[in-house]
Structure formats: structure tokens, C-alpha cells
Chain A
Amino acid sequence: EVQLVESGGGFVQPGGSLRLSCAASGFTFSSYEMNWVRQAPGKGLEWVSYISTSGSVIYYADSVKGRFTISRDNAKNSLYLQMNSLRPEDTAVYFCARDTKFAVAGTYWFDPWGQGTLVTVSS
């Protein structure tokens, strides 16, 4: 069974740091690009970051650029999100999502998703 399990969320003061992890199982992790998506309480989905299979290509949303760092360890089947200089507006559930290629069209979509981990930034 394909599974993604996030961890590392918690309560942190503004300006603080957290490192999120996403443990992958049931598929060849090193063959898939990965993403982080977040959802503020009661709000919609916001794409946060993308990483290629090797980690050599990375993209960030403007809202987190310069503060968040995505990385992966293919030997450990794990995806990470290092979050620094956290702000109250970063409060959200953070999901990891696999970038899955749909062979017929050759396009990529988020499937599956993990269950998410909650990050709360507050003084």
C-alpha cells in the first residue's frame, strides 16, 4: 500500500523553526517528485514547494521563499521541510503529496497525499 506519513508539527513562537518529515512507503520513493502543500485552519489549499527525484530541482511558493527549505533522503525514503523564521500566517496543516505521472497524458498530479501535520505559530 502506498503511504505517506507526515510528522514534526507542533507549536512554535514567531521567528522559530521546525522541521517536518514525510515518510514514504509502498513505492519506489526515489522515482517520484514530491511536494508540500499547506492548509490554514478553515481555508483552502496552498502549494508550498516541489522537489525533483534527485533533489537537484526545487521550487517554492513566493510566500515561503527564503525561509523554507525542501529536501529529501532517498536512502531513507523521506521528504523534509525545514521551516525557519516562522510567522503566524504559516499556521496550517502541512501535507506531503506525491507527484504522480499519468501515463496516457504524461502529466503529473498530486496522488496520493499524506494525512498532514499541524504547525501552529503563535506567541
Chain B
Amino acid sequence: EIVLTQSPATLSLSPGERATLSCRASQSVSSYLAWYQQKPGQAPRLLIYDASNRATGIPARFSGSGSGTDFTLTISSLEPEDFAVYYCQQRSNWPLGTFGPGTKVDIK
């Protein structure tokens, strides 16, 4: 079973700052990794797929990188609406799809 770990658990930043979130897989998932954003009381929303491709309508300030076991989600300049929880998901063993535990980005 592939396990995803995310760090840090919580990231406290101010609007305008750069956010760097990490997702690490217990074994290689190639580029079969996505990032989702979830705000309180809402469903998750797909941000990044295949490690580095932005989903439709996602602002350019969101970018993803990495392959194999180490992945990064970067938000270049935090907007007020970006404070949320971010989950990574791997699907190297599609159709199964395990998620990481999440990183909460909150306002400092």
C-alpha cells in the first residue's frame, strides 16, 4: 500500500507570501499525483493533476512539481481565498486513490 505524507501539517502565512507544501510517497508514483483544495464546509476542488498540470480555471499562482516520491505545491502569492486545507492524492494503482493527511494553510 502506498502511503502519502504531507508536511507541514499547518502552515501559517500572511496574504502575499509564498506557500510551499510538500507531499511524499512511500514508493514511486511516477507523476500520478494530484492536489486538491478544500475550504470549510465545501467539497474538495481539483487544483493540479499529473503532478504539474493546472486544472481548468485554476489561477496561475498555483503550481505543482515533482515526480517519483517527492512533490511540491507552490502558491506564489497567497490570496485571502487560498487559506484552506490542501490534500495530495496518488493514483499510480488506479482506480484506487489514496490521499495524504492534508496541510492546512492558515492566516498568520
A residues in contact (CB < 8 Å) with B: 33, 35, 44-47, 50, 57, 59, 61, 95, 99, 102, 104-105, 107-116
Interface size on B, residues (CB 8 A): 26
B17-41 CB mask vs A (1 if < 8 Å, else 0) is 0000000000000011010101000
The answer to whether B55 touches A111, judged by C-beta atoms less than 8 angstroms apart, is: yes
The answer to whether B43 touches A113, judged by C-beta atoms less than 8 angstroms apart, is: yes
Q: Which of A99, A105, A107 has the largest count of B CB atoms less than 10 A from its CB?
A: A107
Label chain A's interface by main secondary structure: strand
Nearest CB to that of A111 among chain B residues? B46
Nearest-Cβ distance from residue B91 to partner chain A, whole angstroms: 7
The answer to whether B53 touches A108, judged by C-beta atoms less than 8 angstroms apart, is: no
Query: Chain A residues near B36 (CB, 8 Å)?
Result: 45, 110
The answer to whether B34 touches A109, judged by C-beta atoms less than 8 angstroms apart, is: yes
Q: A105-B53, A109-B34 are in contact. Are A44 and B99 (CB under 8 A)?
A: yes
Nearest CB to that of B46 among chain A residues? A111
Task: Report how far A99 CA is from B94 CA in the complex, Å.
Answer: 11
Q: 12 A-B residue contacts at CB 8 Å? A: A44-B87, A44-B99, A45-B99, A47-B97, A59-B95, A102-B49, A102-B53, A105-B49, A105-B53, A109-B46, A113-B43, A115-B43
Is residue B96 contacting chain A, with contact meaning CB distance below 8 A?
yes
Q: Which of B55, B95, B96 has the largest count of A CB atoms less than 10 A from its CB?
A: B95
Label chain B's interface by main secondary structure: loop
B residues in contact (CB < 8 Å) with A: 31-32, 34, 36, 38, 42-46, 49-50, 53, 55, 87, 89, 91, 94-102
For the complex with contacts A44-B87, A110-B44, 16 further pairs of A-B residues with Cβ separation under 8 Å are A33-B95, A44-B99, A45-B38, A47-B96, A50-B97, A59-B95, A95-B43, A95-B44, A107-B50, A107-B91, A109-B34, A109-B89, A109-B91, A110-B36, A111-B46, A112-B43
The answer to whether A47 touches B43, judged by C-beta atoms less than 8 angstroms apart, is: no
Nearest-Cβ distance from residue A52 to partner chain B, whole angstroms: 8
Nearest-Cβ distance from residue B54 to partner chain A, whole angstroms: 11
Nearest CB to that of B49 among chain A residues? A109
Nearest CB to that of B95 among chain A residues? A50
Nearest-Cβ distance from residue B90 to partner chain A, whole angstroms: 10
